Structures are given as C-alpha cells and as structure tokens.
Amino acid sequence: MAETLMTARNLTKSFGALMATDDLSLEIAGGEIHAMIGPNGAGKTTAIRQLSGEITSDAGTIHFDGRDITALPMHKRAHLGLARSFQITSIFLPFTVEDNVAMAIQAHDGHSFRFWKPARSDPKLRTPARETLEKVGLERRVDTVAASLSHGEQRQLELAMALATRPSLLMLDEPMAGMGLEDSKQMITLLQSLKGKVTILMVEHDMDAVFALADRITVLVYGKAIATGAPQVIQADPAVREAYLGEGRTCSA
Amino acid sequence: MDRFKPSVKTWIQAAGLVFLVGLPPAASALGESFYIGLSSRILIYALAAASLNLVLGFGGMVSFGHAAYLGTGAYVVGILSYHSVEGSAFFNWPFVLAGTENAFILWPAAVVASALLALLIGAISLRTRGVYFIMSTLAFAQMMFFFFTSLEKYGGDDGLSLFARNRFGSLDLGNDAVFYYLCLGLLTGFILLSHRLVNSRFGMVIRGSKENETRMRALGFEPYRYKLTCFVFSGAGAGLAGALIANQTEFVSPSLMHWSVSGEIMVMVILGGVGTLAGPVFGAAALLLLEEVLSQYTEHWMLFLGPILILVVLFAHNGLYGSLAQGKIRNG
C-alpha cells in the first residue's frame, strides 16, 4: 500500500449528550478511494467536518502529509491541499458557473487584497476555471447562473470547485446525493477518471457507487469505526452485515 | 456580464448624471436656488448610503450604526474648525494639534478617524452573526451618540456651529453651486471606486462571503479579514459624507449620530436597491424629496412615508433603481 496521507487518531466529538464521533481512528492511503459508509446518524458528516477543520474535535489528533493539523482552521487546511464538497450543495447561486470555479482558483492564488483589476477578466483565474469545467463536463454551462443549473449539474459544479484547487485529498460528502440514475452513472465515471490522480475520502449511501469506486471501506456505526478493509472483506464481515447492511440484503459489487 | 452594450442601466446612469450636472444652472435660472442646497444634501446622504451599501449590499453585513461614522467625520471638522476660530489647540500632548479650517487636512482627517472607528467597531462586531451583529453595531453607535452628547466643551447635545465652511484651495465653498459640484464629484468618484472594488478579486471574496461563508473557508479564504477591510472602507466613506454634511449645514450635533439617522441611511439603500452601485443615489433622492414634499403638507409626514416605503419593498424588490435597471444589476 502507498504511504499514508492522512491519519486520524482517537477523534471524538459530542454535541451535548450525543456522541457523534466516538474514538474514531482512520488512515487514508495516498492514491486510494476510501469510502466511509454507515447508517443514518452514524457520524459520517461530522467526521468529514472534523477532518476538514470546519469544527474542532473534543479530543484526538489529525495528521496530514506528515504534519499535525489538529489545531489548524479549515481555510489553512485547504491551503495544504485538503478540499471538500458538501452534502447540501454549497455553491454561489447568484454567480455564474465559471465565477464559482474561479473563486476556488482565486483562493489558491495568493491573497485577495487586490482592489483594482476586474477579477472576471483575469486569465489567471478564468483559464484554469474553464479547464476544470471541461474535466467535469460543464464546459457548455460556463456562463449559466449557478441557480438555474439542474440538481445533477449543481453537484458536478460542487465537485469542480473542490477539484479546481488541485487538492491532494478530496473529501466528498455524498457526491451522488439526490441524483437520478443517469447523473449518478456519470458521476461514477467522473470519479473513476480521478482514481490514482487524487486521493479521495468519500461518504456515500449509494452502494453501487461505493463498490464500483472504493479501494477500501470504513464502516461507521454510532461514531465508531467497526471495520475497515477492501470491499470484499467488508461485504463478508458479519458485524457489518449485522449492523448496517441488514438481514437478507445482498450487495451488488 | 461586463461586456459593454448600452443597457437600460447605462442610460439611466447617463441621464441621471446629465440631470445632476445641469441642476444648479437650471435652479438658478428658475430662481429656485434653494434646491441647490437640498440637492447637495441629497448627494451627501447618497454618499453615506453608498458607503453603507458596500457592507450591506455587497458584503451582507447589516450595519445598523452607520450614523456613528457620519457623525465622527462631522465632529472632526466641527471640533478642529472650532479650535481654529478660537486659536487654541485640540490637544498639546504628546504633540500639539492645532485647529484648522483647511479642508485638505480636515477631510482626510475625518476619513481616517471614521475608518479607525470602523476598524475598532468592526473588529469586535464582525465576530458576531446575524441579529447580534446588527445589535452590536447599533450599541457602538449609541455609545458614540451619548459620548458626544456629554461632551460639554463642544456644545453637548446643543451641538457646535461652524464659523464658515472650510477652505478648499481656491474654491469658494461658501458658494452653494461650487459646494454642490464638489459633492457631486466626490460622490461620483466614490461610486467609480466602489465599482472597481466590487468587481475586483477583493470584491468577489466579499460577495462570496455574503452568499456562503463556510464554503469560502472550505475553499481557503478567511472571510473575517476581508469583511473587516470592507467595513473600514465603508466607515471611511461615511466619514467623508460626515465632513461634507458639517460643511453643508455649518453645524454639527449628536443628532447626526442618532440611531434614527442610521435607520434613514439604511432605508435609502433599501429604497434605491441593495447591492446596486447607483441605487443609493436614487434612494437618498427619493427619501429626502418625499420628506421635503410631504412635510410641506403635514407635520405627520412620516405617516405617509411609511406606506410608500412598504409598497416599494413589497413591489419593487430590487428597489427603485434596481427595478428600473431590471435584473442584471446584481453584478454592480
């Protein structure tokens, strides 16, 4: 296996009496697609929020690329090469598709205390933005206002914004959320094309997608990782079948 | 979006500018030079509203204390002019700061003082969100109001009269038309600067933060620093408006800092069109003209102003200018 890119050790997070993350340890290897699955309320999104720095952990440490990032806020982690997408589509709705991606590029092109030159005609932002949009297949929609995209396209844009910063670790919170069959297939193909180029940690409910994409799977139940391993191992794990996949359900790999 | 074609918006702006430039000679010709003073007042409030619009319209920061910066700018002019006439120093330690009536010193000083106040207030208020932000900006402004009310040396709540308008090189600011054109020039300059600002990289960060701050952080921005900078620019603009209003009325008093003034400036922004560059000018004109006209008929003019405001908010969602220019105005 390749070198470890991110290591989380003994993470905890509680909201009042609710233990959302309970002594969670996780290793993400460079280059892999690592899926995090688990029933609703297992703490998957909370884990993503802790790993990305949106919320601080009550205890535990996070190392990324050999560096302790436990205390770093989200925007600083982003500059180290950590990008994320959101479960609830988080794009800038009044802006055009290209504006959205250019914003991501801008975040990684030095400070933005630049008050004079128009950002919308800056080729340093616009050219890479268009390139990224071609990658995700939105090149025809560059001038469309994000609010008028279809749901599937908005999810693609969400991914494009995360990709635009050329991250070394991409954390995707349910990239297929709310998508129809066609859109899902397209997204799976897109993510497959990223395999090996960027390390991905993905939370997903769509088991077809998970088994089509993941190199390794971690199963979360009540904020604890009950199993980690290759898809076949996870599928065969009796504890996982018991806790998550449920009686009598078979997974199509 | 920024491709140039003479849109409705361009026509409105051009027509508005021609009207404003032609107003003083027209008013004099009609023997109604009173309107030059009223129009100067409109332009000055438009400047204050345009500066509030930077934070409110583009940054989504609902500052309910902009009167504080307006008043601070006015008091810098008022206090230093007072010392100049009296021939005394504002303070003697650690260095001597003598009074002056020179606009080239006073107005930049007003801008800097208001910017510093905005830096202080913004640095604290911007750590809060939503209604707490609104309340803390209001609370700071009320503190300023009571501070100047208790400042007996400078007239307390009676305020302070200026001996004359400031000296501005060879321009005679005592001439209402000259003063009017200066206000028009400064307002136009401020709006052009704002146009560059909101379309720059900085402006994109400000507008992105208004939409979704968490997303901005996930992309790698730290919105706080940018929002605070925007807040300081806004305070500076309001400070300049304050210096102008002190000159226009030749009088400063704490009433300039009253929360109702903050409210009026906000109404101007909303009336004209939140997040549009020319909107605040229309808003200021609409509000002050309505006030002028309605108050001639009844002293209860507020009673009639209220319903008009409600109608505009209900039916002209983008404000007067925003609705005239139809869509497309979101990008400045």
Collapsing DSSP to helix, strand or coil, A70 comes out as coil
Which residue is closest to B219 within chain A, CA to CA?
Answer: A104
Residue B2 scores a pLDDT above 80: no
Provide DSSP, B277-316: SSHHHHHHHHHHHHHHHHHHH-TTTHHHHHHHHHHHHHH-
Query: Which among B202, B212, B222 has the least Cβ separation from residue A92?
Result: B212
What value does the mean pLDDT take over residues B1-21?
79
State the pLDDT at residue B316: 81
Domain with CATH 3.40.50.300 in chain A: 1-81+167-253
State the pLDDT at residue B326: 60
pLDDT digits (tens, 9 = 90+) for A186-208: 999 999 999 989 999 999 988 88
**Average pLDDT score, chain A:** 91
Task: Residue window 198-227, chain B: list those with CB within 8 Å of chain A.
Answer: 199-205, 207-208, 211-212, 214-222, 226
Task: Residue window 120-179, chain B: list those with CB within 8 Å of chain A.
Answer: none
Residue B209 scores a pLDDT above 80: yes
**Type of residue numbered B15:** A
**Average pLDDT score, chain B:** 92
Rounded Cα distance, A24 and A13, in Å: 9
With CB atoms and an 8 Å threshold, state whether A114 touches B215: no
State the pLDDT at residue B300: 87
pLDDT digits (tens, 9 = 90+) for B135-181: 999 999 999 999 999 999 999 999 999 999 999 999 999 999 999 99
H helix and E strand count, chain A: 9, 10
State the pLDDT at residue A39: 87
* Class of CATH domain A1-81+167-253: alpha beta
Task: Mark the ranges of chain A whose per-residue pLDDT is less than 50.
Answer: 247-253
Distance of CA B267 to the CA centre of its chain: 12
State the pLDDT at residue B330: 47
pTM as predicted: 0.92
Q: Are A99 and A144 in contact (CB under 8 A)?
A: no
The ipTM estimated for the assembled molecules is: 0.91
* Percent of chain B whose predicted confidence (pLDDT) is above 70: 96
Q: Which residue has the tokens 């914003």?
A: A103
Rounded Cα distance, B246 and B41, in Å: 11
Count residue pairs from A and B with Cβ separation < 8 A.
98
With CB atoms and an 8 Å threshold, state whether A78 touches B330: no
Higher pLDDT, B325 or B32: B32
State the pLDDT at residue A248: 45
Q: Are A173 and A85 in contact (CB under 8 A)?
A: yes
> Measured between beta carbons, which residues in chain B are less than 8 angstroms from residue A72?
none
CA distance A3 to chain B (A): 25
Q: In sequence order, what are the beta bridge partners of A12? A: A59
Instruction: State the pLDDT confidence band at B92, using cuts at 50, 70 and 90.
Output: confident
With CB atoms and an 8 Å threshold, state whether B199 touches A108: no
